[in-house]
Amino acid sequence: MRIIHFPLLLIAFIVFSCENESLSPRINPQFGIALIQEVSASGVQFGATIYEFGSEPIIEYGFVFSPLGDPKLHNADFVRGTGTPERYFELEANSSLEKGRTYFVAAYLKTENATLYSKEVSFQSQGSEGFLVESVEWPLLFKGVEERVRIKGEKFSSIKSNYSAEINGIKMDVELIDSENFEIIIPEDFHLRIEGQNVPTAMKVRIAGKEFFGVYNSRFVEPSFDQAELKSLTFTDTFQIEGQNLLFAPIELTVDGVPRDIISIDSEKLTFQAFNVSNPPANSTKSPVISMKARGLSYELGKLYTLKAPEIDNTSVRLSKSSRLVLNGRNFIPSVVNFNNLIDQYGEKFGDLIGASPNQVQYGISLIPNRKLNLKIKNFDLYSNPVSVEITDPLIPLRKGPKEISNFSQKGIVISDMGYYINNTGLYELGFEYPFASKKVGDVPFPENYFFEKIDDKILIGGGAFSPLTIRKEIYLFDPKTKQLEQLSELPEGLLGFNVVYKVDNKLFFERGVRFEGSGQRTTQENWVLDLSSSSWTRLSDSSWGLNSIVRYFNHKNQLYSLLPDVQRGIITLGKKNFVTQEWEIVRENIGLRSGAFIHQPVQIGDFSYFIDEGGIDRLDLRSGEVDYFQVNTGNRLNSSSSFNLDEKAFLGVDFYLYEFDPAYLNK
């Protein structure tokens, strides 16, 4: 249906209502305002009447329309015809009209010298058919510069405000070319706003309420990396990768599969820390594998550098176990977790790292595998040059020791440079080389066992009792060579053991026999001798010394010595056994041991016995009875009944640990 908005009579009154955009002293055409003939969903039918053609020929005619006022050819959409129109002409606008929007329209006529417009009128659009896209010229490769998407078609709006464009949801600017061409401007940083390579990219264009949608494949310039020779770096060095297009997309850097921060980057080089000293990864390697990732693509660069091993300057150190081990040098990792581990000659970790800088490391010392150490600093698969360390304390706790030693209450015995001890589960043999391993070599006849004495190159065991009804009379000799236990004899009736046992010629002498009296054991003054040839026992005269007169006794060079206290006088005397008279002879009275020293079984090395306490060590010369005191902070009052006495040093079992005592390190 045609809708006439203005009666014909009105036209007569507005014949001369046109405007002249470019006046000249010529006679221009005279025409009326635009008539809105019909408004529909497919567009608008415009009409206009020419009242006087004038002297200038008309070369173009039409209508301009815009949602803004004052529509002109340079700022509005238009429909047009060419040549001279009929006195009444009509044209249809079927694009660039958005439904529900108010537009302003004016008729226009164009001559060679002027463009004339009528007064504008308004109408409300019901929509239009829309534009037609014939082709989209998508960039072949995004190179990090401004790119343009050329769109060709028909019925494009001439009003820029009618346009909106998005690419992957990112708003883009539009530049109008003509009614058949416009361009979407893609900014130079577009490559930074989109992830991936060969990415399906959505483009949406909206013109006056009508939309066009398409998906196009986007390719981006890829980074490239230059080949370089393998470099050797310290842990604090930086490394630079060179190439091209390194800024074209966000780059993720990984070193041995662990993300690494990039210090600086431009289009041709990338710099990062060769080793992450602030947060070193535990799985580091000396020749890490470098990888890059950009736009979802991985670039395996391989091994580009090798990390240098630490270097130690002070390669020979003597120190106390209570001191810190300080090593100076180069290329240490400034971290106290997982790195700069000291490895000893046994391939095990030594010490506890307590401080680290690129040029110095410090360690605390606790358990020690050996007095003389050969150490290297290990950082993953890198080892430093060796450093020799000597521990100067006379008494040192060892890292390794037999676990059974915690139940070990008897003295230690050394035969042919091997140690022997017993506990409730059996008889054990101990080696004195790292790791000081022990093994069970025999069974104890019964748990009440009383004796554990060295007799020549064999071990006397047996005797003992838990009660008067369970006295064990049998005594045995264990042969370390054959690992056999052979019964030697039975104790005299009622005796379960003796405090002192020694051998002279082919006889075993037993002194200070032990019996049950009531519900407890009692030491007597009984002395007996066992003839090994006839296996017969003979009772000897009782001891002339009191029951408490022998505190400790020990053998030295086939001679028996003892500490003999004089309670009334408050002194300790060193005695020596006379094997002819079977009496104790005085070597020296009042030998001057510290008051508590005699409660320990002494360590016996060479001609000396050593008494170890927390604050110092007494050395007793068995030849003269002279005592020397050494102030040593041992930290332990050692029950040296578990002492294994070798020719030049001793090993002491205490709780779960083994200690080494070497008198060569004693200083007054």
Per residue in 46-57, pLDDT tens?
999 999 998 899
The pairing of strands 627-631 and 616-621 is: antiparallel
Q: Hey, CA dihedral for 125, 126, 127, 129, is it positive or negative? A: negative
Give per-residue burial for 339-369: e unless 16+ CB within 10 Å, then b.
Answer: bbbbbbbeeeebbebeebebeebbbebeebb
Q: Mean pLDDT throughout 214-224?
A: 90
H/E run at residue 10: helix 8-13
The number of CA neighbours under 13 Å toward the Cβ of 618 is 20
Question: Which stretches of 227-296 are assigned E, i.e. beta strand?
Answer: 231-233, 238-244, 251-255, 258-259, 262-265, 269-273, 289-294
> Which tokens go with 116?
């004339």
d(CA 583, CA 229): 87
Q: Mean pLDDT throughout 437-453?
A: 88
Position 16 scores a pLDDT of 36
Q: What is the pLDDT of residues 347-393, one digit of tens each?
A: 999 999 999 999 999 999 988 999 999 999 999 889 999 999 999 99
Q: What is the pLDDT of residues 58-114, one digit of tens each?
A: 999 999 999 988 999 988 899 999 999 999 999 999 988 889 999 999 999 999 999
Of 276, 226, 227, which is closest to residue 246 (Cα–Cα)? 226
> Is the preceding omega at residue 25 within 30 degrees of 0, hence cis?
no
Higher pLDDT, 425 or 616: 616
d(CA 333, CA 234): 9
Long-range contacts of 1-4 (CB under 8 A, 24+ apart): 1/38, 2/37, 2/38, 2/45, 3/36, 3/37, 3/38, 3/39, 4/35, 4/37
Q: Given a cut of 70, is residue 21 above it in pLDDT?
A: no
> Which tokens go with 168?
């992957």
Question: Could you give the dihedral angle defined by the CA atoms of residues 351, 356, 358 and 359, in that order, rounded to the nearest 10 degrees?
Answer: -70
Position 637 scores a pLDDT of 61
Position 134 scores a pLDDT of 92
d(CA 364, CA 43): 91
Q: Given a cut of 60, is residue 406 above it in pLDDT?
A: no
d(CA 340, CA 333): 7
Position 277 scores a pLDDT of 82
d(CA 269, CA 254): 16
Residue 409: pLDDT band (50, 70, 90) is: low
Q: What is the pLDDT of residues 618-653, one digit of tens each?
A: 899 999 999 999 988 876 666 545 789 999 999 987
Which CATH class name applies to 132-218?
mainly beta
Residue showing tokens 């390190």:
665
> Which tokens go with 51?
């009242």
Q: What is the pLDDT of residues 523-545, one digit of tens each?
A: 888 999 999 999 999 999 887 76
Mean pLDDT of the chain: 87
Say whether 224-307 and 8-124 share the same fold. yes
Residue 10: pLDDT band (50, 70, 90) is: very low
Q: What is the pLDDT of residues 251-310, one digit of tens each?
A: 999 999 999 999 999 999 999 999 988 887 777 889 999 999 988 889 999 999 999 999
Residue 405: pLDDT band (50, 70, 90) is: low
Q: Given a cut of 80, is residue 551 above it in pLDDT?
A: no
Q: What is the pLDDT of residues 113-150, one digit of tens each?
A: 999 999 999 999 998 888 888 999 999 988 888 999 99
* Least confident piece of the model among 112-126, 480-494, 599-613: 599-613
d(CA 59, CA 240): 69
d(CA 648, CA 418): 14
3-state class of 9 per DSSP?
A: helix
Position 8 scores a pLDDT of 33
Contact status, residue 578 vs residue 560, Cβ threshold 8 Å = no
The pairing of strands 262-265 and 269-273 is: antiparallel
d(CA 491, CA 537): 8
Position 20 scores a pLDDT of 45
Domain boundaries, the chain: 8-124, 132-218, 224-307, 313-381
Q: Given a cut of 90, is residue 571 above it in pLDDT?
A: no
> Which tokens go with 188?
């130079």
d(CA 356, CA 341): 11
Burial status of residue 235 (CB atoms within 10 A of its CB: 0-12, 13-18, 19 or more): buried
Position 1 scores a pLDDT of 35
Position 4 scores a pLDDT of 36
3-state class of 406 per DSSP?
A: helix
- pTM value? 0.68
Evaluate whether the domain defined by 8-124 bears CATH number 2.60.40.10.
yes
Position 29 scores a pLDDT of 92
DSSP at 256: T
Q: Mean pLDDT throughout 400-405?
A: 71
Q: Given a cut of 60, is residue 411 above it in pLDDT?
A: yes
d(CA 350, CA 373): 10
Question: Could you give the dihedral angle defined by the CA atoms of residues 233, 238, 243 and 244, in that order, rounded to the nearest 10 degrees?
Answer: 180
Position 594 scores a pLDDT of 74
d(CA 78, CA 34): 13
Cα 507 off chain centre by: 68
d(CA 100, CA 41): 10
Position 148 scores a pLDDT of 95
In this structure, CATH architecture of domain 224-307: Sandwich (2.60)
